[in-house]
Amino acid sequence: MKIYCAKHGGFCFGVTRAIKTALDAAKEGKAVYSLGPLIHNRIAVEDLRKKGIITVDTIGEIKNKKVIIRSHGIHPDILKKLKKKNFEIIDATCPRVRRAQRYVEKLIKEGYYVIIVGEKDHPEVKGLLGYAGNKADIYSDQLKLKKRRVGVVPQTTLDIEHFNQVVSNLMGNVLEMKIYNTICHETILRIKEALHIAKKADLMIVVGGKNSANTTRLYQICKKYKRAYHIESVDEISPAWFADVKSIGITAGASTPNKQVQDVVKYLRKMFPK
């Protein structure tokens, strides 16, 4: 069995940085609270909990006023609230997300009607919307353009092909469009490599949290080309998948610990020793 494992799968720069920041802060002894999971990976979050990084849903649940801002960033209103209440704030916003937030702010100041392209319930998108003073719209096929002068910012983990399609859809109805292409370079490499592997392998396995938007998207892209499975761990792998299969491709989302990917590789290598 030939196994192709993506080099550009697994933890991205922003996630690696956020975890390191959280662990460093937790080493001081006091628990660190995260509003929502620090990363969208159930197993990794459970592991972090053991190391003093606690996931909560609301500010009220934070017992020691020590809070970390996730790599996805945060809505500025929540940030203000935390500051007002004198919380100790550890900011692990990915610098690439921070840059997107600044661009959204800038476009609003310049009078553009701002459109954010991404998942409307994703924390990054909610944060971007906040930096637009909640005046932006999230792109959807049903969106009715309000103005002919439009500013466009994509979620950092968006598929660039999807983004190009959105820009094309908008083009016929705009006179001026100012785009900040904030799609992270790692996202582009990850999807490009996944597509490359999906084209040559007989079957694709995408490793990562079922609650991870970018992993789910990676899975959807792969399954356009080949039979594909989105798994969180090796327990979900079924030997029945591999009948008539001569090669397997493996990739992972930006929030998937490298260990989880390596576990899958090892498991498959054991199943197919050569």
Give the catalytic positions in this structure: 124
Sign for the CA dihedral angle at 130, 186, 45, 223 comes to positive
Does position 243 interact with its own copies (CB under 8 A)? The reply is no
Nearer to its own copies, 87 or 180 (CB): 180
Q: Is 12 annotated as a binding residue?
A: yes
Provide φ and ψ at 221, rounded to 5°.
-65, -45
Which of residues 58, 86, 168, 238 is near its own copies by CB under 8 A?
168
Helix (H, G, I), strand (E, B) or coil at 246: coil
The interface mask with its own copies, positions 169-198, x = CB under 8 A, is --xx-xxxxxxxx------x----------
Cα distances from 262 to residues 72, 120, 182, 252, in angstroms, run 25, 32, 30, 10
Q: Nearest distance from residue 224's CB to its own copies, in Å?
A: 18
Residue 172 or 239 having the CB closest to its own copies: 172
Q: Rounded distance, CA 215 to CA 105, Å?
A: 28
Longest CA–CA separation in the chain, Å: 61
Centre a 10 Å sphere on the Cβ of residue 145 and count the other Cβ atoms it contains.
Answer: 13
With binding defined as CB under 8 A, does residue 163 bind its own copies?
yes
247 is in an annotated binding site: no
Least distance to its own copies, CB of residue 166, Å: 11
- The whole-angstrom separation of Cα 200 and Cα 254 is 22
Nearer to its own copies, 59 or 177 (CB): 177
Contact footprint for its own copies (CB under 8 A): 160, 163-164, 167-168, 171-172, 174-181, 188
Binding annotation? 12, 40, 72, 94, 122, 156, 184, 212, 214, 255
